[in-house]
Amino acid sequence: DAKTTQPTSMDCAEGRAANLPCNHSTISGNEYVYWYRQIHSQGPQYIIHGLKNNETNEMASLIITEDRKSSTLILPHATLRDTAVYYCIVRGGSNYKLTFGKGTLLTVNP
Amino acid sequence: DAGVIQSPRHEVTEMGQEVTLRCKPISGHNSLFWYRQTMMRGLELLIYFNNNVPIDDSGMPEDRFSAKMPNASFSTLKIQPSEPRDSAVYFCASGPDGRPGYGYTFGSGTRLTVV
């Protein structure tokens, strides 16, 4: 699977949009981009995934660049409860395995 | 939907004792995963079941660890004998399909402490 690069940490003001970047320059054509998050002391939570097109659900939006080498997870109106470690993961082909890196610690400040 | 259910939430045991962790996946999901999380190593995949059959156990640390899935609604992870270095949070996850294009749902985890 392609390796991903994320910033170690980010801050966001409550009520503002949180934009979390992820680089995956070695992604191949059949690999999806997944985002999970882990709130302290809880299990990882699936947020969203995409292949080529931008995706939106009730939690977030996923913007994937045209060359698919990077993506951005957008939380449109961050709340204090969105403080968590956010993981960007690339998975594809016949690979069932989710490989978690260190992720980005997003801290939402009042 | 109750989600993925793990038990117990916390387990404290003495070194050398047998420990059994339990998982009930989401009904209808045919893929089940056991992960372990430590500060040093992060989240690691231990074993993957598909349709109750172990497909990949390459992440199981050693022979002290074993996992079973006797039916579609139940799985266990057993450590015998336990050691202090097994202290970690163990997560179970399930998914509708192991192929890409599907998200997995994780349980709340079992925090294991071996003293």
Question: Are B45 and A97 a contacting pair at CB < 8 A?
Answer: yes
Per-residue pLDDT of chain B (115 residues; tens, 9 = 90+): 689 999 999 999 999 999 999 999 999 999 999 999 999 999 999 999 999 999 999 999 889 999 999 999 999 999 999 999 999 999 999 998 777 778 899 999 999 999 9
Residue A84, SS3?
Answer: strand
Q: In residues, how long is chain B?
A: 115
- How high is the pLDDT of residue B1? 65
Token readout for A54 is: 């931008």
Greatest CA separation for chain A: 43
Residue A80: its pLDDT value, please?
Answer: 97
Contacts of B62 (CB under 8 A, 6+ apart): none
Q: Report the DSSP pairing between strands B10-13 and B110-114.
A: parallel
Nearest to B34 by CA among B80, B82, B1, B79: B79
Residues belonging to chain B with any Cβ–Cβ distance to chain A shorter than 8 Å:
4, 31, 33, 42-43, 45, 48, 50, 55-56, 91, 93, 98-101, 103-109
Cβ partners under 8 Å of residue A16, min gap 6: A77, A78
Q: Reduced to 3 DSSP states, what percent helix, strand and coil does chain B have, rounded to the nearest 5?
A: 5, 55, 45
Measured CB to CB, residues of chain A less than 8 Å from chain B are 30-32, 34, 36, 42-46, 49, 51, 91-102
Q: Parallel, antiparallel, or unpaired for β A104-109 and A45-50?
A: unpaired
pLDDT in tens, A4-54: 999 999 999 999 999 999 999 999 888 999 999 999 989 999 999 999 989
pLDDT in tens, A88-105: 999 886 778 888 999 999
B39, closest residue in chain A (CA to CA): A102
DSSP label of B99: S
Radius of gyration for chain A, computed over Cα atoms and rounded to the nearest angstrom: 13
CA distances from A60 to A54, A78, B46, B60, B112 (A): 11, 10, 29, 34, 33
The tokens of A13 are what? 């003001």
> Hunting for tokens 């594809």 — which residue is that?
A92
Q: Are A64 and A58 in contact (CB under 8 A)?
A: no
Specify the residue for token string 């003293």: B115
Q: How many CB atoms lie within 10 A of CB B76?
A: 15
Confidence of residue A1 (pLDDT cuts 50, 70, 90): low
Angstrom distance (rounded) from CA B88 to CA B110: 8
